[in-house]
Amino acid sequence: MSASPDQVARPRPYRLAELGLLILAIAVAASAYALVGLGTEGTIPANVYGYAGWLAALGLILHVVVWWKAKYADPVLVPIAVLLNGLGLAMIYRIDYAKDRTGVDATAFTQLIWMTLGVGLAVAVIIWVKDHRWLRRYTFLSGLAALVFLLLPLIPGLGRTINGARIWIGVGGFSFQPGELAKILLAVFFAGYLVSYRDQLVLAGPKILGIRFPRLRDFGPIVIAWVASVCILVLERDLGTSLLFFGLFVAMLYVATSRKSWIILGLGFFAVGAVAATFLFSHVEQRVSGWLNALSPEEYNKTPGGSYQLVQGLFGMANGGLSGTGLGEGRPNMVPYAESDFIYASLGEELGMAGLFVILLAYLFIFQRGIKTAQQLRDGFGTLLATGLSFTIALQVFVVVGGVTRLIPLTGLTTPFLAQGGSSLVANWVIIALLLRISDNARRPLEDFHTGVLSVTEDPDRTDASAREKTTNADDAPTTNVGPTGGER
């Protein structure tokens, strides 16, 4: 008896493939940790088995939860995230050794604790958020919460200024960067608002110079949220995150409206803002000057500021060449903030250009899988959210790598999963968890939406009096072959 077409087309979960890739990622990360010990001390670290076991436990727990709660989720995301996180831990441990930081004072130990917290939150998100469309109910609450998080560092007594940027809050002996969680909340807000007012943004409003502009009452709330976020970050002197939020805003606006004019306008606004910031803010002018005149003696020796850190990172990557000096055999500690802002340059010295290409390829896979998930989704909100989360990681990598390689000025962002920084690591693990949940919904067969495993949520904007909205809003109808904004192709 031949199988029915539905049975033939039923997607495979690929959980065993994920397990195999995860074991490979853990083996590579543990080997990198061992090679650091061999390169620095000539012997394998005594705690390598404990480290490998801890890393394996975190990866396997997340794998089991995904198999249990989101068995159709993308099988590549978890192994790549574990691989990048493991390589980052190995390099941070190597820099700890060069700076004589051991035991509980070691940055690598603290980073492993943050990874544990990040994976724990990822597990909670996968279990708690059974349907990504549920987040749409909290569109405006997410936008308000994002603004509150961004305001926290400005509160006297709570906010902390580190390296000239007031983007941290201190609680006890710990510090946290709330802007990392704000970027996730803003992605939810942008996705929910844009999918609700997509038609008004595309069709309504005046037409100026061939470009259709939305009405102010339709576009005003989202512009206010974006401007407020950027203004707060300017006050906090965190221009890297301001650039990230601006790029996220423009990218999601383009996906929602499919109008290239928004990209042109976005680039124009960015150019004007960048030039204005260079003349208005001294710290921006310092970074631009350090970028343009990095190799001049005056800029290299300037204190504070200057290009010493940038040039040392370039020299380190040049010293690594194509194949690198080998883990534990370079001198990445000569670069200030080698374990955080310049961890990409540190890895470039010891892994070489080939190693850096592999790392960039891993990030490219995360972005590609996220965009593929967005294209497979049956609802516009999920499409925008998956695109926004994927673009957040991609843009952050571009800004960091571009700054370290002197393609663009330095911005102070951290490399996702690799760099030392607990708040960034936790936020990126939450992004991975959301992408896992969204990809599970995208690949799950339609018949499973009625088995109790995943319920179909009701569109909060649906009204009986709006027949047109029923046909254009794909959040209610699980149709196949959806376009980038949820409409039928």
| Residue ranges of domains in the chain | 15-443
* Rounded CA separation 345/410 (Å): 13
The H-or-E segment that residue 87 falls in is helix 77-98
Task: Describe the strand order of the beta sheet including 165-171 as a list of residue ranges.
Answer: 159-162, 165-171, 174-176
Percent of the chain with pLDDT over 90: 45
Q: 1: helix, coil or strand?
A: coil
- Give residue 482's pLDDT band: very low, low, confident or very high (50, 70, 90): very low
Q: 414: helix, coil or strand?
A: coil
| Cα–Cα nearest to 136, from 457, 479, 486 | 457
- Segment 128-142 shows an average pLDDT of 92
Asked whether 346 and 335 are in contact (CB, 8 A), the reply is yes
pLDDT at 416 over 90: yes
* Rounded CA separation 74/369 (Å): 8
- Give residue 489's pLDDT band: very low, low, confident or very high (50, 70, 90): very low
Residue 387, both tokens: 């695109």
* Rounded CA separation 228/222 (Å): 10
- Give residue 404's pLDDT band: very low, low, confident or very high (50, 70, 90): very high
- Segment 261-284 shows an average pLDDT of 76
- Give residue 485's pLDDT band: very low, low, confident or very high (50, 70, 90): very low
Identity of the residue numbered 417: F
φ, ψ for residue 159, nearest 5 deg: -75, 150
Q: 365: helix, coil or strand?
A: helix
Sign of CA dihedral 183, 185, 191, 193: negative
pLDDT at 480 over 50: no
Query: Which residue has tokens 């396997």?
Result: 60
**Mean pLDDT of the residues in the chain:** 83
In angstroms, the Cα distances linking 27 to 15, 18, 60, 277, 382 are 18, 14, 13, 46, 34
Question: Over the stretch 431-476, which tens digit does the pLDDT of each residue have?
Answer: 999 999 999 999 888 767 654 444 544 444 443 334 333 433 434 3
- Segment 370-389 shows an average pLDDT of 93
Identity of the residue numbered 240: G
Most confident listed range (52-56, 166-170, 236-240): 52-56
pLDDT value for 486? 39
